[in-house]
Structure 1
Amino acid sequence: MMETRTLSIWRLVFCVFAVFVLLAPAASVSGQLMVDFYSLSCPAAEDMVRNTVRSATSNDPSVPGRLLRLLFHDCFVEGCDASVLIRGNGTEQSDPSNQSLGGFSVIDSAKRVLELFCPGVVSCADIVALAARDAVALTGGPAVEIPTGRRDGRVSLVSNVRPNIVDTSFSMDEMIKIFSSKGLSLEDLVLLSGAHTIGSAHCGSFSDRFRKDPTGRLVPVDASLDRSFAEELMERCPAGFDPSITVSNDPQTSSSFDNQYFRNLMAGRGLFQSDSVLFSDARTSNLVEAFADDQESFFAGWAQSFVRLTSIDVKGDGEGEIRLSCSVVNAE
């Protein structure tokens, strides 16, 4: 019913643009992204995505965090080309780190609406980037203007995932290596880690932070982890770290995109080892302190880093396609 109402609303909205779109030439796709790329070929494209995300979020508050994580896992492997959406054996979705990803149904819903009004025009890669952008804004974060014009990739291999994704147990050097390979700086690393201000994680993703003592009781491995926070995590997650149980990345303001994440790090309440190391490492501790103290500074930096994230290895003319369905490549 929700999808039917959404389609009816957009039929009315699109009538305003129908004649103009039919007469206007479609915007050409090139390797150069540009703001308002769809202004002629699909003027309401960004509004359609935004309203789809808003509708999904109203039904499920976990959607924004899922969409933001989906973008990271897409862009870090094969670039921002929606390769993580392709289903099938041996694809990126087959890797264990991607099997807990969510938000696919939101992307599919937006794609169906766009295909109804602008068939074959808007790429799945752009939908993923726009949906993540809107997820941040809808949870109180900055509204970021991002360029569009990405094409969808045709390659999705499970073997490409492990070498390119940051693991929650990574050291600072390991994270710097991955981020640097994507053209992202040390400051980008800290700013984009701020994405953990929303969303949740499965217990198994931070089980490395605990061990069993001789009596079989769980104890923290890292002494810098706040004791009360460690107790909360051990109470929330049973001894076996049941992978079906989730914990908020930021237990203080879990549904708000804000700078509480950085305050948590300073208080020893970072959920992952890869979070905590940002404050314990001298190379980044000053940035953590700065963003914890000034939310506007975090938001301003986030906007710039987010644009760089969504521009990683984008596909242009001759390098990709506009998929008709986000889960499968087009037939030859």
Structure 2
Amino acid sequence: MTSKAAALVTLALGFIFVTFSGQCYGHGPASSPALQVGFYRGKCNGTADVEAIVSGVVGKWFLKDHTIIPALLRMQFHDCFVNGCDASILLDGSNSEKTAPPNLSVRGYDLIDAAKAAVEEVCPGVVSCADIIVMATRDVVALGRGGRYIVETGRRDGTISLAKNVNLPAPSISVSDSIKAFAKKGLNTTDMVYLLGGHTVGVAHCSLFEDRLYNFQNSGKPDKTMSPLLLFFLRFICPQNAVVDNTANLDQNPLSSLNVDNSYYWQIKLNRGVLQIDQELALDSATKDIVTSIAKGFDFSTKFGQAMVKLGAVQVLTGTQGQIRSSCSAVNK
């Protein structure tokens, strides 16, 4: 994939919904025992509820822009998958992670800054930006009817952010290579399939899958695994050699593209996956049974929340490591 195409990645591990579910799920396994549920309880003037403050900011933002859900989910993934969940993606700089091609379309920084400012007013120098990303992401998923999972906190912020360290899985990555990439982060194959289920809502630019429509693997033909009806529809949206890089929903069920559910898995089982990695999940022997199980099951929200918590525990800084930034976009001097 070219750097230009990478810059347009909109692998929106996220959702857009209309109601709050009110459900609460267990936090599941974590890779860092130093993290705790309710880490900030009693640490901010005794009575200040850090998570409630963040939730309040997120709720107001959500009312103005529902698409903040996929934005924050993507932000957490892009942060955690590089140097771990240390908020390094938030740091400004001429060669920071923000400047790497896959991160040029990441957004949601303003919301994180607003949440940080609100917390600093009552609890200065205590709450990390890394924790705010994880809390805010949990909150938008809940607002998006994705189930409210319990997050662990206690992360500290990193001080290094370099574009050269950004090595995120591309949309055309093979299942086997994707499994290896996730395994390096302590995430197993099932975790990977659930996290990619974030594509139940989100969009991708035509440039990321155009080869599947016209010249798959330089064959001069479309990807034969794609449904003929989907091929017809996507060619209409993405004409060959188009000047404008349009987008398509990753969940092709029009009745469910604004809901977090297992519809995405049914779509890829029907050969209606838009991205190559999505479709291959339903075809590869290592993942197809997991896909089928999720498609037929009723616990996607629970398992997705558990996978998000596990993602949020990847290579965290705790204790005396890192720092608590005064501003999320700059290292303390």
Q: TM-score range by the shorter chain?
A: 0.7 to 0.9
Report whether the alignment pairs 1:173 with 2:149: no
Looking at structure 1, the residues matched to 207 and 58 of structure 2 have their Cα atoms a distance apart, in angstroms, of 28
Higher Cα radius of gyration? 1
Choose which of 58, 68, 74 in structure 2 pairs with 1:53.
Answer: 58
Partner SS for 2:83? coil
* Structure with the higher helix share, 1 or 2: 1
Alpha carbons of structure 1 residues 255 and 95: separation in structure 2 relative to 1, 3 Å: same
Counterpart code for 2:329: S
Report whether the alignment pairs 1:81 with 2:86: yes
Looking at structure 2, the residues matched to 243 and 324 of structure 1 have their Cα atoms a distance apart, in angstroms, of 40
Which structure 1 segments of 5+ residues have no match?
1-29, 214-218
Residues 233-289 of structure 1: CA distance to partner in whole angstroms, max 9, x if unpaired? Answer: 222234346575332222422322111111111111112111111101011111111
Looking at structure 2, the residues matched to 119 and 246 of structure 1 have their Cα atoms a distance apart, in angstroms, of 41
Offset at residue 135 of structure 1 (A): 1.8
Residues 43-102 of structure 1: CA distance to partner in whole angstroms, max 9, x if unpaired? Answer: 421112222222222111211011101100000010001101112111111111110111
Counterpart code for 1:277: E
Q: Who is 2:311 aligned against?
A: 309
Report whether the alignment pairs 1:229 with 2:234: no
8 Å CA contact 1:31–1:316 kept in 2: the answer is no
Looking at structure 2, the residues matched to 206 and 212 of structure 1 have their Cα atoms a distance apart, in angstroms, of 10
Residues 198-238 of structure 1: CA distance to partner in whole angstroms, max 9, x if unpaired? Answer: 2222222223323359xxxxx86311111222222222234
Counterpart code for 1:144: Y
Looking at structure 2, the residues matched to 88 and 279 of structure 1 have their Cα atoms a distance apart, in angstroms, of 40
8 Å CA contact 1:92–1:158 kept in 2: the answer is yes
Report % sequence identity: 39
Q: Who is 2:115 aligned against?
A: 110
Looking at structure 2, the residues matched to 241 and 136 of structure 1 have their Cα atoms a distance apart, in angstroms, of 34
Looking at structure 2, the residues matched to 133 and 220 of structure 1 have their Cα atoms a distance apart, in angstroms, of 42
TM-score normalized by the length of structure 2:
0.83
Bigger shift: residues 320-329 or 246-255: 246-255
Looking at structure 2, the residues matched to 272 and 202 of structure 1 have their Cα atoms a distance apart, in angstroms, of 10
Alpha carbons of structure 1 residues 58 and 320: separation in structure 2 relative to 1, 3 Å: same
Alpha carbons of structure 1 residues 273 and 212: separation in structure 2 relative to 1, 3 Å: closer
Which structure 2 segments of 5+ residues have no match?
1-31
Choose which of 22, 25, 34 in structure 2 pairs with 1:32.
Answer: 34
8 Å CA contact 2:250–2:274 kept in 1: the answer is yes
Partner SS for 2:82? coil
8 Å CA contact 1:38–1:45 kept in 2: the answer is yes
Looking at structure 2, the residues matched to 132 and 83 of structure 1 have their Cα atoms a distance apart, in angstroms, of 16
Residues 76-132 of structure 1: CA distance to partner in whole angstroms, max 9, x if unpaired? Answer: 010001101112111111111110111111111111111112111111101111111
Looking at structure 1, the residues matched to 116 and 135 of structure 2 have their Cα atoms a distance apart, in angstroms, of 12
Structure showing greater relative contact order (alpha-carbon pairs closer than 8 Å, 6 or more residues apart): 2
How much is the aligned-residue C-alpha RMSD, in angstroms? 2.0
Alpha carbons of structure 1 residues 243 and 80: separation in structure 2 relative to 1, 3 Å: farther
Looking at structure 2, the residues matched to 247 and 138 of structure 1 have their Cα atoms a distance apart, in angstroms, of 23
Looking at structure 1, the residues matched to 244 and 319 of structure 2 have their Cα atoms a distance apart, in angstroms, of 41
Looking at structure 2, the residues matched to 308 and 171 of structure 1 have their Cα atoms a distance apart, in angstroms, of 22
Choose which of 129, 132, 139 in structure 1 pairs with 2:134.
Answer: 129
Looking at structure 1, the residues matched to 243 and 100 of structure 2 have their Cα atoms a distance apart, in angstroms, of 19
Alpha carbons of structure 1 residues 54 and 290: separation in structure 2 relative to 1, 3 Å: same
Looking at structure 2, the residues matched to 255 and 156 of structure 1 have their Cα atoms a distance apart, in angstroms, of 34
Aligned residues: 295
Choose which of 207, 222, 239 in structure 2 pairs with 1:204.
Answer: 207
Counterpart code for 2:119: L
Residues 3-60 of structure 1: CA distance to partner in whole angstroms, max 9, x if unpaired? Answer: xxxxxxxxxxxxxxxxxxxxxxxxxxx9711000111123421112222222222111
8 Å CA contact 1:203–1:243 kept in 2: the answer is no
Bigger shift: residues 148-157 or 54-63: 54-63
Looking at structure 1, the residues matched to 54 and 249 of structure 2 have their Cα atoms a distance apart, in angstroms, of 26
Partner SS for 1:155? coil
Q: Who is 1:264 aligned against?
A: 267
Q: Who is 2:28 aligned against?
A: none
Partner SS for 1:77? helix
Looking at structure 1, the residues matched to 131 and 105 of structure 2 have their Cα atoms a distance apart, in angstroms, of 22
Q: Who is 2:146 aligned against?
A: 141
Q: Who is 2:295 aligned against?
A: 292
Looking at structure 2, the residues matched to 181 and 330 of structure 1 have their Cα atoms a distance apart, in angstroms, of 30
Looking at structure 2, the residues matched to 276 and 316 of structure 1 have their Cα atoms a distance apart, in angstroms, of 38
